[in-house]
A and B are shown apart, each in its own frame.
Chain A
Amino acid sequence: MTLNQLLPSLKELSHDEKVRAFEFLKKELEQEELISPGQEYRIFTPDPCPEAAVKLMELLERGSSNDVERR
């Protein structure tokens, strides 16, 4: 059955049945999603920080030893 075949039948449903159909589909979609609702996903990437990148590139170019060695 295609959606086009189904739509006329859906239109004949009562308001409560339409709400139940909507909730049914919503639940089905959530289960199909790879991203689960309520699950925490850690974002590792810091936002772009070009100034930090420039400073590290300068450090690489200088090739100097670290000035934060253990005393």
Chain B
Amino acid sequence: MSKGVEQVRQQFSYVSYKGILMPFLPIKLTNNNVSVETSALLDSGAMINVLPYQLGLNLGLYWDDSKANIPLSGNLANCPAAGILLTAIVGNFAPVKLAFAWAKTDNVSTLLGQVNFFAEFDICFYRSKQYFEIALKS
């Protein structure tokens, strides 16, 4: 939930996930004229943004195995993924273009990683105060 209204820097509260406070961010994703509001995890350790399968379908994307050319590893190893571009709106910030690996699994949360969410925004975590702060890249 956004606490501030200023454009430059905005605060969001941590969200409890199975009893653990996690930095989930409310975000509006748009593909063409289809928009979905969801909650995405700010994951500074993730190299890329990841979109779960059903969310992509809800955004009007069509799965095509021949387009799944994004190699994933670790807990998503062997999971096919396709590269997609979406428009994202966070809080009161202007829309930004985000590239996602659209994974053919729902066993993953929507992840916001280094490419390219962390390239678009500067983020400070204040875990002890249970909020995080997002600013447009300077």
A interface residue numbers (CB < 8 A to B):
41-53, 55-57, 59-60, 63-71
Contacts and interface: CB of A to CB of B under 8 A. Distances in A.
Interface stretch (B6-14, B61-69, B128-136): B61-69
20 contacts: A45-B43, A45-B46, A46-B50, A46-B73, A46-B75, A48-B47, A49-B74, A52-B70, A53-B47, A56-B115, A56-B116, A57-B116, A59-B84, A59-B99, A60-B85, A66-B31, A66-B85, A67-B67, A69-B61, A71-B62
A46 B71 contact: no
Contact of B61 (A41, A46, A57, A68): A68
B47 A65 contact: no
A14 to B, nearest CB: 41
B55 interface: no
B48 A52 contact: yes
A53 B61 contact: no
B31 A46 contact: no
B39 to A, nearest CB: 13
Interface centre among B41, B83, B111, B114 (most CB of A within 10 A): B83
Contacts of B63: 68
Interface residues of B, number: 44
Contacts of B71: 49, 51-52, 55
Interface of A is mostly: loop
A45 B114 CA distance: 11
Given A67-B67, A69-B32, A46 B60 contact: no
Contacts of A59: 83-85, 99
A46 B56 CA distance: 19
Nearest to B109: A44
Nearest to A34: B20
Nearest to B57: A70
B30 to A, nearest CB: 12
A11 B75 CA distance: 48
A70 B45 CA distance: 32
User: Which of A41, A53, A69, A71 lies at the interface centre, i.e. has the most chain B CB atoms within 10 A of its CB?
Assistant: A53
